[in-house]
Amino acid sequence: MDKIVEELKGGNDAIQQAMQLVKAAEHAERYKDMCAFMKLVVDLHIAKNEDLDTDERNLLSVGYKNLVGAGRGSHRHVKHQMDSKASDLLPGYLGVIAKETTDICKEVLKILEDQLIPKAKELQKGESNAEMKREKIEATIFYLKMAGDYYRYLAEIDKEGGYEKKAKDLYLEGTELSAANLEPTDPIRLGLALNLSVCYYEILDNRKEACRLAKQAFDDAISKLDKLKEEQYKDATLIMQLLRDNLTLWTTSSADEGEMEDDLQVENAE
């Protein structure tokens, strides 16, 4: 892998070639490789004073989502075993899984906080064209939401690390920006509202605020649904369905703890 990355760096069309490998790795479900190639794409764009385009942002999100998702699932499974049976070895094994998953989260957070979020904000401020400025704002919100997600994942694993505050702050910064610039039906705004409400419910243990946020996002979106562009309709209505499912679960169900913690059904799937 290191040799391939080094060879790519010297090419005239390095970004295009790297993206071909990103997509090949995705199809092969080799998400560690996918993330390594996307890190190179980020470095190359930043060196040229550029941001990622929409396709590249989505692939960055997909790669790390799948990579860290396996660790999150393993951590939940082993922790559940620890809760149900005594073992001298399980805590050590849980620690191994926690470290691996934490390292992945911190890797993508470094990319977001050191490179992509600052660059998106910089380009946003310097853009005079209204349409291009909107694209930069969308990118900034996307990255803020993504960073909030990975701090939320860290908070799942480490309850004492203070990660929940970072997650909340990033989500709220993105929420403020999206409320001022995106329609209530915009999938980025809806996905952010969905994941913020999940954070309040699962991490911050504030079920009332979680329900309020989910209901407000759903109600605001449904009132503008008739004005939604066709290309956004499917994504928007899917997230709205997740918001409604959460509200139903959170307000009427007395599901057991294991079901509540299984956030695969309640968070935004990028």
Q: According to the model, what pLDDT value does residue 226 have?
A: 80
The parts of the chain modelled with pLDDT lower than 70 are 84, 86, 253-270
Instruction: Label each residue of the chain as H, E or C.
Output: CHHHHHHHHCCCCHHHHHHHHHHHHHHCCCHHHHHHHHHHHHHHHHHCCCCCCHHHHHHHHHHHHHHHHHHHHHHHHHHHHHHHCCCCCHHHHHHHHHHHHHHHHHHHHHHHHHHHHHHHHHHHHCCCCHHHHHHHHHHHHHHHHHHHHHHHHHHHHCCCCCHHHHHHHHHHHHHHHHHHHCCCCCHHHHHHHHHHHHHHHHHCCCHHHHHHHHHHHHHHHHCCHHHCCHHHHHHHHHHHHHHHHHHHHHHHCCCCHHHHHCHHHCCCCC
Q: According to the model, what pLDDT value does residue 214 have?
A: 96
The pTM assigned to this predicted structure is 0.90
pLDDT digits (tens, 9 = 90+) for 128-147: 888 888 999 999 999 999 99
pLDDT digits (tens, 9 = 90+) for 65-81: 999 999 999 998 888 88
Q: According to the model, what pLDDT value does residue 265 have?
A: 44
